[in-house]
Amino acid sequence: MVTITIGEFTRVEGNGEADIIIENGEVKEVKLKIVEGPRFFELLTLGRYYYDVPDLEARICAICYLSHSVASVLGIERAFNVEVPREVMLLRELGLLGEFLESHALHLYLLVAPDVFGYPDAIKMASKHGELVKEGLSIKAFGNYIREVIGGREIHGINVKPGGFGRYPTIEELEKIEQNSEALLRFAKRAVNVFADLKFYGAKAEHFVATNSYLYGDKLIACDEEVFDYYEHIEEKTLPYSFAKQSKYKGDIFMVGALPRVMLKSEQLTPLAKKLFEDHREKLSQGYVSLNNLAQAIELVYALEKAKEIARELLDKGLSCENVPVEVQEGEGIGYVEAPRGVLIHHYKIDSKGNISYSNIITPTALNHAIMELSLYEEAKKNYGSLDEKTFVQRLEETVRAFDPCISCSVHLVKL
C-alpha cells in the first residue's frame, strides 16, 4: 500500500490536506483532511446575550462574514417571532450580494484563473493577463465596498443587528452602488466566457440542496422537490481523520453551492443571468463539480443586476431607517442563508432572558465534505498512472478548488 499525501491545498481558504491510498496499483480510497484546529463556536456563544451573538459568529469566516451575521440574525429573529420590513430585508440581500461579488471574484480571478492560464498565482499571471486580473480586482473591491456599507467594515463589521441595522446607508452610497453595478456588468459577462470552457472534472453531483429563496430562506429545497428543515433529511457523522464532519441527504452524497443554486433556482435569476444560464444549461446540467466555477461566473452577473435593482427600488421608495423593536422571549429559530459557497445554517434556542441555550451551525464546506472526497477519489482513479505525479497532484488540487472550499468555516465545529 502506498499513500500519496497532498500537503496543504494552496489557493483555498484555510488548511486542508488529502491522502490518496493506492493498493495494487489502483486508487483505493481518498481521505480529505481538514487540519485546522477546532474553534468551538457553539460553545463560545452558549450563555451569551443574543444581541452580541451575530458579531461573534461573523468571526467564523472572513470571506463570508456577512452570511454568518445574517444567518445568525435570521435565526434569532425567528426565535423571537420578529418580522422586519421589506426595506431591512432588501438591505440584507444587498449585503449578501456584495459578499457574492467579493467572494466569487476572489475565487474565480485570483484562485481559479491561474489554473486556466497555467500560473502558480494571480500576481505572476498579471504580467500576461493584467486586464483580467484588474477586472477581477475591481469587482472584488466593489463587493467589499457593499460589505463595508451594509456590514460596517470590509471584514467583521458589526452593523447587521436583530431588528435592523446600527447605521443605514446614505442616498449617495446607494447611488454609487447602482452606478457601479451597471458599470461592472461587462466585466462579469466576460468572466462567463473565460470560465465557460473549463474541463469537466470531479464527481458528477447527483443531488443538489439549496435554500428556497435565492439568497436566504425559511426552508431548504432539493432536486427531488422536497421542501424541508435540515434536521429532517440531513445527517452528519464525525470522521477520525478530519476536524470537519460529513453530511448526507437522505443517505446520499449531495452538493451545495453556485451550481446547485442556478440549477434549482434558475427562474429566480435576473434577466441577463437567466439568458446566460440558458445558453449554458445543457453543459451545467451535466453536474460535474468543476462547473461550479461557471455557475459562479453567472452569479457575478446575477449579483450585479440584482444589486442595481435593489438600490433603485430603495432610492425610489426612500429609506425609513427604522429598526423593529425586539422583544426577548423564550424560543427557537433557524436561519438559512446562501453563503457564496452554499447553504449555511444557524440554529438557536434562546432562554427567557435572551441568552443562547443551544446553538448548531452547519457550513457549506462541511455539507460538501463528502462530495469533495468523492470527487478527489474519482479524479484520482481516472488519472493515477497516466499523469506524472506533479500533474496528478495539480489536477486533484484543481478539483478541490472548484468547490471554493472554506476550511475555516468547516472547523467552527458542529454540536451533536
Partner 1 sequence: MLKLGVFELTDCGGCALNILFLYEKLFDIIKFYEIKEFHMASSFKEHDHLDVAIITGTVSCQRDLELLKRVRNNSNYVIALGTCATHGDVQGSVEGSIREKLEKVYGSRANPMKALDSKPIVEYVAVDYALPGCPYDKDEVYQVLMDIAKGVEPPKKDYPVCIECKLNEYECVLIKRGIPCLGPITLGGCNAICVKSKVGCIGCRGPLPKEANPASEFEILKELGYDEEYIRKKFKTFARGELRW
Checking DSSP bridges between strand 356-362 and strand 342-350, what pairing results, if any?
Answer: antiparallel
181 vs 408 by CB, closer to partner 1 = 408
141 vs 196 by CB, closer to partner 1 = 141
Considering the complex, what minimum distance in angstroms separates the CB of residue 204 from partner 1? 26
159 vs 309 by CB, closer to partner 1 = 159
Considering the complex, what minimum distance in angstroms separates the CB of residue 126 from partner 1? 8
Considering the complex, what minimum distance in angstroms separates the CB of residue 106 from partner 1? 7
Cell of 175: 447611488
| Closest by Cα among 414, 416, 410 to 35 | 410
> What does the alpha-carbon distance between residue 174 and residue 177 come to, in Å, rounded to a whole number?
5
Residue 383 and residue 236 in contact, taking contact as beta carbons nearer than 8 Å: no
The SS3 call for residue 401 is helix
**What one-character-per-residue DSSP string does 3-14 give?**
EEEE-S-SSSBS
The residues that touch partner 1, with contacts defined as CB under 8 A, are: 8-15, 35-44, 47-49, 52, 55-56, 59-63, 65, 106, 110, 114, 120-124, 137, 141, 144, 152-159, 161, 165-167, 238, 240-243, 397, 406, 408, 411, 413-416
Considering the complex, what minimum distance in angstroms separates the CB of residue 340 from partner 1? 13
Q: In what order do the strands lie in the sheet with 342-350?
A: 216-217, 331-339, 342-350, 356-362
| Closest by Cα among 62, 51, 4, 12 to 35 | 12
> What does the alpha-carbon distance between residue 397 and residue 402 come to, in Å, rounded to a whole number?
9
Which backbone phi and psi does 84 adopt, to 5 degrees?
Answer: -100, 150
Checking DSSP bridges between strand 16-23 and strand 2-6, what pairing results, if any?
Answer: antiparallel
Which residues are CB-contacts of 67 (< 8 A; sequence separation ≥ 6)?
61, 96, 99, 337, 338, 339, 340, 344
Considering the complex, what minimum distance in angstroms separates the CB of residue 308 from partner 1? 23
152 vs 335 by CB, closer to partner 1 = 152
153 vs 186 by CB, closer to partner 1 = 153
> What does the alpha-carbon distance between residue 72 and residue 344 come to, in Å, rounded to a whole number?
10
| Closest by Cα among 232, 262, 261, 263 to 249 | 232
Considering the complex, what minimum distance in angstroms separates the CB of residue 385 from partner 1? 23
Considering the complex, what minimum distance in angstroms separates the CB of residue 268 from partner 1? 29
Cell of 137: 480586482
35 vs 272 by CB, closer to partner 1 = 35
Q: Which residue has the cell 449617495?
A: 172
269 vs 413 by CB, closer to partner 1 = 413
10 vs 352 by CB, closer to partner 1 = 10
Considering the complex, what minimum distance in angstroms separates the CB of residue 137 from partner 1? 6
**How far is residue 290 from each of residues 95, 109, 179, 394, measured CA to CA in Å?**
27, 15, 32, 14
The helix-helix angle for 65-79 and 86-105 (nearest 10°) equals 150
Considering the complex, what minimum distance in angstroms separates the CB of residue 321 from partner 1? 11
111 vs 295 by CB, closer to partner 1 = 111
